[in-house]
Structure 1
């Protein structure tokens, strides 16, 4: 099952698969751009977004640390380099009306992806992931706390008790690994990576207009109802 984006249906469903990871700021921005592009179409409910798991750093520690420390370990450089990169993407996010705090934590996201897989099965994968990521970048949510994830799950219509069970088990681990493996086979070198109708791929956080053009390629142009 996949989450539906509401709007008047005018054609067959188009599945949009999004390989993404929680702490990737470009995934955060790209997700909102994609959603905006879909929302601009009168046939928005034709498009079903399915979240696919892709850990950017499978070796990341499970104990949360500052994003500055994680950045320097992964990319090298200094705190100045880190702040320059963060301020750049923060400015882009703010221009698009998105909250973006620099006071975030970083840790292994494998467990979160396991919950996303459960949410996908309930048709709420995109809604759950999006809510967690939005809260994370706004600075109001610690996604590495089981109670926090359970709370978000309940807010989108999932079973919080079930989420807690998953987090204390190894359920859905194979699906997370399978998603990453499939992404690598498709050429994913980084995220976000969007595949539309298994016909068109879009690496990186594209502009709203570019996503709109890709939607048109797979679903046809938006018909002007005013035309006679």
Structure 2
């Protein structure tokens, strides 16, 4: 299946009926800093619209580094182990993204840990099933980047899930088993079939795809293309 890329001619091919719900799928990973920034930019673009409540963000799983160890390590250790280079270069890149995030009002700690995120994605799949996926993901990711939460601690992750209304006993059951593993793998495969090569990757109404962390203004333009507030010239 192929998706349209950002395309200004989308209106000519038909758009959403005025006021109809629009599903926005966001492939993402917990520890990805550009996913963190991109998610907030997308939400701001939605919030600026008078019909913001018609847009539903659905979080989709994409584990960036399936080979990451389960034992947490520093960001610089994780990057240099996977990609080479040196710790100072990693920290320089982190400081650059930190500056971008902070200018947009987002907390960004340089003391975060890194580890395998697959168990987190399995809980995300459970949260999606319960209608709390976006709330769960945002709560954990925002606190993680603020340096307030270690999501690789099963007890901490379970408590965080409980704060958004997920049943703690069920979350513990998922964490100690293999439930939702195939659902997380399926999300990854589906994203790749749609053209995903990295995250964030946003798909609007299964018609327009936007790779990378776009600006708020670009997200606004895509929302207008998919669900126009204004009537195109010549339309009735």
Aligned to 2:7: none
Counterpart CA distance in 2 for 1:82 and 1:131 is: 26
Instruction: Give 3-state SS (helix, strand or coil) of 2:25's partner.
Output: strand
Higher mean alpha-carbon deviation, 91-100 vs 180-189, is at: 180-189
**In 2, Cα distance between equivalents of 1:46 and 1:222:** 16
Residue aligned with 1:19, SS: strand
Aligned pair count reads 214
Alignment of structure 1 residues 29-68 onto 2, 5 Å: 29-68=37-76
Secondary structure of residue in 2 paired with 1:58: coil
Q: 1:199 aligns with which of 203, 207, 217?
A: 207
1:226 is aligned to none
Q: Per-residue deviation at 1:197?
A: 0.2
> Could you list the runs of 4 or more consecutive aligned residues of structure 1 that deviate by over 2 angstroms after TM superposition?
none
Matched, 1:27 2:35: yes
Q: Counterpart of 1:125?
A: 133
Match of 2:94 in 1: 86
2: CA distance between counterparts of 1:169 and 1:176? 14
CA offsets per residue over residues 125-152 of structure 1, 9 Å max, x none? 0110011000100000000111211211
Question: Out of 201, 221, 226, which is 1:213 matched to?
Answer: 221
1:161 CA drift (Å) = 1.6
Greater relative CO, 1 or 2 (CA 8 Å, sep 6+): 2
Is residue 116 of structure 1 aligned with residue 124 of structure 2? Answer: yes
- In structure 2, what is the equivalent of residue 6 of structure 1? none
Max radius of gyration: which structure?
Answer: 2
Structure 2 matches for 1:82-161, cutoff 5 A? Answer: 82-161=90-169
Aligned partners of 2:194, 2:81: CA distance in 1, in Å? 28
For structure 2, the residue ranges without an aligned partner over 5 or more in a row are: 1-17, 232-236
Structure 1 Cα separation of the partners of residues 226 and 54 of structure 2: 11
Retained in 2: the 8 A contact 1:193–1:201?
A: yes
Give a deviation string over 1:161-183, Cα, whole Å, max 9, x none: 21111000100000000000111
